Every structure is written in C-alpha cells, then in structure tokens.
Amino acid sequence: MNAIPGGPFVTEGRVSQSIIDNLNAKYGLDKPLFVQYWNYLKNAVVFDYGISIKQKGREVMDIIMEGFKTSLPVGLIAGVLAIGFGTCLGSIAAVKHNKVIDRIIMVFSTASVAFPSFIIASVLLYIFCNWLGWLPANGITIDGDYRGYILPVITLSLYPTAYITRLTRSSTLDVLNSDYIRTAKAKGVSKSKILFKHALRNSLTPVITYAGPMFASIITGSLVIEQIYSIPGLGRTFIKAITSRDYPLIMGTTIFLTVLVIFLILVSDILYKIVNPRVEFE
C-alpha cells in the first residue's frame, strides 16, 4: 500500500500540504518505512493494532470484530451445509456410479464450479427478490431477519458443495474398490454398513483437509458476495480499508485473517488424525 502513489489523506479534498504533513506526523507516517514497520510489530506483539485513520477514534480490533460478527454466522452455516450436502451427494454419486443420478450430480457440481459467484448471486437476486419477491434485496439487516441470510448462504455454499461432492465421489470410489471392502462384501455385510462404517470414514480424509481452508475463506467474508448482498461483514470492511488506504485497518485485518487460517488448518490436521489414526505426525 505504501508503494502505491498517494496516501490516506490525499482524497480528503483540497487540503494544504502543511495539514497533510501534520496528519502524517500524528499517525507516524512521516517516518521511514522500516521504522513504521518496527513500531507496528512492537505494538502488534501486545495485540495493539492501533486506531483507524478513516474511522476517527475507533480501535482497529473493534472494527474487525464488528464485521466478523456478521461474517461468522453466514460462513459457518454455508460451510456446514457445504460439508453435509457435498458428502451426501458425493457418496450417492459413488454408489450409483455411471448411472443417471451420478451424471446429474456431476453436471450440478461442474456447473457450480464453472459459474462465477457474482453471476450466481445476481441471478438469485433477480429471481427471488425482483421477480418472485420472496426475499429481501437489502441483505442482512440490523433487525436480524433470517430471510436476509438465505441467498448469501446459498451463494457461498455452492462452490464448496460442488468441490466436496467431487472429492467425496472420487475418494469413495477408490475405497469401494479396495480389498477390505471386497472382503466385507464376501462376508455378507450389508451395503449400508459397508458405506457408512467402512467406506465413508476413510473417504472423508480429503474432505477434512479441504474443510480447514474452506471455513477460513468463507467465515471471514466473501469480498464479492458481501458487496452484492450489501452485507456489513469483514470482507466488505477489508475492501473499504484498501480503497481508503486505512493502513492500520489493512494490517490488522491481514493479521487477523492469517491467524484464523493457521488455526483452522491446525484444527483440520488434528481431525485428520482422529478420523484416520494411521496418520503419523512428525
């Protein structure tokens, strides 16, 4: 952001250079970059991310948590739905391999991956808000109307659902063709028991690996989705901070997102060990 021409106070209108110099001195932007960076690190160690330049008098962490409170429930619901539906559809497609239902599910998953999220969001808005009038078009409001969550959750969950469907189908097909599954079939074990007790548990390991980064990406807010549905979430806050060059808010949000991604990847690694005890940590 410092490499881009201009600064956070250039867009304030016709402001004299002396005022800009005073503002830069107030926020420490007149110092060399390495000095600014070192001062920021010293404060960040004690979880002090400073005060927003654009939102006067507001702590950076207060702004981040305000946006995260909106993005978190939307992302959690979308992630849980993606894992649930993706696992079910992938298992059905694997069991009904090369049959009509398998082809239908694969067409759905391919289309969901191929279409950009902003196109899906625009189409859903037109159909359910403008044409049918069933859902509000102004997104999530302060009164907490649950209908405002429906379209953002559907749009956010479509891509991960399709991806998990393909992962589950591929891994389940590999497991169903393994030796121990053939042995279980020869012993007369029922198909449902083979699928849910033996095959599904071993085929979920790729899904768990993908779930950590997936949750990190969707619960921190989708930049496009939050703009289209007017959701005051963390993604929208991040975009506004970049466009207004609010340096403390940009840095604080980046650190927050990084820590969250690392934590969720760690959780997925631990779950991977629980589901598949044969995996050894080094």
- Domain of 98 in residue numbering reads as 64-275
pLDDT in tens, 53-88: 888 778 888 888 888 888 888 888 888 999 889 888
pLDDT for 168 equals: 84
- In the predicted model, what is the mean pLDDT of residues 145-149? 73
Question: What is the H or E stretch that residue 77 is in?
Answer: helix 60-95
Higher pLDDT, 17 or 132: 132
- Residue at 43 is within a domain: no
Instruction: Please say if the pLDDT value at position 32 is more than 70.
Output: yes
Going by pLDDT thresholds of 50, 70 and 90, the confidence category of residue 144 is: low
- Residue at 57 is within a domain: no
Half-sphere exposure of 225 (CA within 13 A, CB side): 31
pLDDT in tens, 159-196: 889 988 888 888 887 777 777 777 777 767 766 666 66
Interatomic CA distance for residues 154 and 151, integer angstroms? 5
Going by pLDDT thresholds of 50, 70 and 90, the confidence category of residue 240 is: confident
- Residue at 280 is within a domain: no
Instruction: Please say if the pLDDT value at position 252 is more than 70.
Output: yes
Q: Where residue 177 sits, what CATH number does that domain have? A: 1.10.3720.10
pLDDT in tens, 1-29: 777 776 677 655 566 677 777 777 777 77
- Residue at 200 is within a domain: yes
**Number of neighbouring beta carbons within 10 Å of residue 117:** 17
pLDDT for 272 equals: 75
Total structural domains in the chain? 1
- Residue at 21 is within a domain: no
At 204, is the secondary structure helix, strand, or coil? coil
Q: Can you tell me which residue has the tokens 């998953």?
A: 109
pLDDT for 142 equals: 52
Interatomic CA distance for residues 207 and 148, integer angstroms? 29
DSSP conformation class of 10: G
pLDDT for 197 equals: 65
- Residue at 3 is within a domain: no
- Residue at 51 is within a domain: no
- Residue at 48 is within a domain: no
What's the predicted TM-score (pTM) here?
A: 0.77
pLDDT for 279 equals: 60
Share of the chain above pLDDT 90, in %: 1
DSSP conformation class of 1: -
Contact (CB, 8 A) for 275 and 205: yes
